[in-house]
Structure 1
Amino acid sequence: MGCGQSTDGFSNYGSSPHNSQFMTTNNSSLTMYGNNNNNGSMKNGGEGDEDLNAKEVAVDRSTLEAYIQLEREIAEEEASNPLQPLELKAEQLARITQEIKEMEVNLENLERETSSYGEQTKDSVETRKFFIENGIQEDPLSPDQEKYLDSANKQEIAAQELETHRKQRDQLAEEVAELEERASTLQAKYKTHDELLSRLFGGEYGSVKENQLEAELDELEAHRGRIMEANFKWRQAQMMLEYACKQLAVAVQKWQDLPTIPTIDLEIRYSVAAETRNNLVAASQNINGAQRYLDNVNFPYCAPGEVDTLNKQATEYVFTDMQSHERHEHAHSCYSTTHKRANALLQWFDTVINTTIMKDLQEINEKVKEKTLELRRERVRLIQEKGTKTQGTCVSKDT
C-alpha cells in the first residue's frame, strides 16, 4: 500500500468533531463576556449581589493595565494548551482502566488453563523453569509439552501486557492530575477576564466592531483547536511508533544471536528468547496504541492485521520456534519484515506531521495572533474612550 491510499484518512488529520466543541467552549470563554448567564449580577468582595448595569468599575490607567496584563497571562497559559490534552488524556485513562479490568480476567483464565496441564505446574508455571527442569535441548517437544509451553507463554505475555498497562495507567493519572491543575489556573483567569469586561461594559458589547471581531476570533480558535488536537494525536502516535521501532530492532538482533548460543546453555537461550518475545509484545502494544490515537486513519504499513499476525503466528510460539532451524528462519523473516514496515510507517508519520499539520498550524496561529491583537486594540480603545467619558481624563494608548 502506498501513502496516497490513506489521503482520505488524514484530510482532517483524524480529528473528531466532539473534541473541537470542547476547545470552542473554553476558548470562547476568553471573549464571550456578553453571554454570562448570571442575570447581570455577581459576588463582589463579600458585599452581596450587585447590578452590573447599575454599578460599573472605575476606568483609569490601572484598569487598562490590569486588562492588558490579564490578556498576556492568558496568552501565556494558552500557549501550552492544557485544556485539550486534559480531555484526551482523561479519555485515554478511562479506556486503559477498563482494558486493565478485562486483562485481569483474561489472565485469570489463562492461569487456570496452564495449571490444567498437570501437577508439574503447581510449583511453577514459568517457562524457563520448565525448560531447565525437563532438560529440553535438541529433542523435539512432545504434544503435551508443546501445548503446555504455548499456554505458559500466553500467560507470561498476558502478565507482561497487564503490567505495562498498569504502568501506563499510573503515568497517565499523574499527567491528568498535572493538566487539571494547569487547566484550573487557566479557567480562573478566564473567569476573571469575563468578570472584568462584564463590569466594564455592563454585560454588553462595547461596539459592533468588537462583536464582529470576537465572532471571527471564535471561529479561528475553533479551527485552530481542531488542528492542535490533530497535532497532539499524531505526535503521541509518532512517539509510540518510535518506541516500537526500537523494540523491534532489539527483538530482531536478539533472535539473530540465538543460534550462536550453544544448546547446552539452556538458561541463556531461554533468556534471549524471552527478551525477544518481550520486545515484540511491547512493540505490538505501541503500534496498537498509535492506531488507537488515530482510529480513523488507515495506516499504509503495520495495519491491525499485520500486528495480529506478529502476535499470533510468531510471538506466541517464540519458544517453539527456537527449537528448529526452519522455524527460527521463518520467525526471523516475520520479525524483520515487521521492523522494516514499522520504520516505513514512522517516515510516513514524519511526512504528514512536518509537511501538512505543522504548515497548517503555523498559518492558523498567525491568523489567530492577528485577530487577537485586533480585538485587543478595539477593547483598549473602548476602555480608553470610557475612561475619557467617565473621568474626563485621557488614558495613555497601549496596544
Structure 2
Amino acid sequence: MDPILNPYAPGAGTPPPELSGRNELRDKLKITIARILKDRPAKSMLLVGLRGVGKTVLLEQMLRDTEEQRIHTIFIEAPENRSLPAIICPQLRLAMLKLSRIEKSKEAAIRSLRALAGFVKGLKVTYGDIEVGLDYEEELGLADNGDLEADLTTLFVEVGKTAKAGQTAIALFIDELQYIKSEQFAALITALHRCAQLKLPVVLVGAGLPQLRGKAGNAKSYAERLFDYPEVGALDKQAATDALVKPALDEDVEFDADAINIIYEKTRGYPYFLQEWGKHSWDVAQQSPITSKDVLEASELAIAAMDESFFRVRFDRLTPKEKNYLYAMATLGEGPHRSGDIAAVLNKKVSDVAPVRNNLINKGMLWMPNHGDTSFTVPLFDQFMLRIMPGL
C-alpha cells in the first residue's frame, strides 16, 4: 500500500493518529482545573509508567486540553544534567509577562517578576546554569535568601497570586520528572503544598518512570496526600484495536481479526510498539485487508527497527558492567527479579553489584516494584538483551 498514506507514527513523543484508552485521565485533569478555578481543593497529578506507554504524548495532549480551558500552561522536559531553577525560571518569566499585559493582574505580575529577579540572583551561585532575562529589579527580601525551598515557595506564592488576580491558573507540565534531584524535587513539592494551603491556582502535571512515587514520598512525607499517581500502562485489547483500526479506516484500509490478535500478542498493548507494528504491517501489505501473513512478515521489520532505535539508544548509554547486569537479568526472564538471583547469575555477592544496580536505576533503566525486587523500565528489554548479547 502507498507508504505516503501510512498513518502510523512511531517516535519519541510523536502523537499517534488515534490517542485511545486515555480519556479517563484527560477528563480527570479537566475536573482538577475546573475545581482550582473555583477555589476548590484539587490534587496535582503525577503520571507514572514504563517507557513506551505514551506518557509524553498524553502529557502534551493534556496540555492542549488545559489551554482550551484558557489556562496559562508551562511545558518542561527535565533533562538529567540541568537544575530545576534553570529549567523553570524562563518559563515562569514568560507566563508572568503575559499576565502583566492584563490590567487586573498587571501589578501582581510585576511583583512576581521582581520575586523572580530576587530568586535568580539569590541562587545564581548555587545553580550556575540559571540563564534568564530579568525585566525588573529585585525587591529586597522577596525570594532572595539563597535557600531553594524557601525562595521557590515564595516565588510560587507570588505566581499563584498573579494567576488568581487574572482569574486564571498556572499549570506546569513537567516530563521526565524522575531526573530532578531529590532536594530540588522536595523544594518543588513544598512550593506546591503552600499554594494548595493558600488556595492559589497553581497545579503540577508531571510524568515519569514508576520510581517517581517513591522519590516523591522520600522527598516529602506529605507528597502522597498532595498528588494523585495515575498509572499509564499498556492498552487493553479494545483500546489497542482502536489505535490500529481507526487510523487505517480513515484511509479505507481494514485489518483481519487474526492480524489484530497477532499484533496485540506481540506488542502486549504498549502504544509505541503498536505504532511500529502498524507502520510496518501497512508497508508490507499489498492491499486491504491487512492479513496475519502481512503482520508476521512485518514483525521482523518492526523488531529490527526497535532494536536499532528504541532499544539501542538506551543500550549504548550503558557501561560494560551495566550491560552484563542487564543481560543476567534477561536470562531470568521478564521479571521482576530478586537482587540475589541476579547476583547469583553473575557469581557475585549482592553488595558487589549493588553500585551497578543503583547506576541503572539512576539512568532510568531499572526500578524497584518492591523492596529487593528489580524490574526493567523498558518493556520487552529482556528479549532485546538476549538478541544483542547472545550466548554471553
Scaled by the length of structure 2, the TM-score of the pair is 0.22
Bigger relative CO (Cα 8 Å, ≥ 6 apart): 1
Name the one with the larger helix percent. Answer: 1
Select the structure of larger CA radius of gyration: 1
Name the one with the larger strand percent. Answer: 2
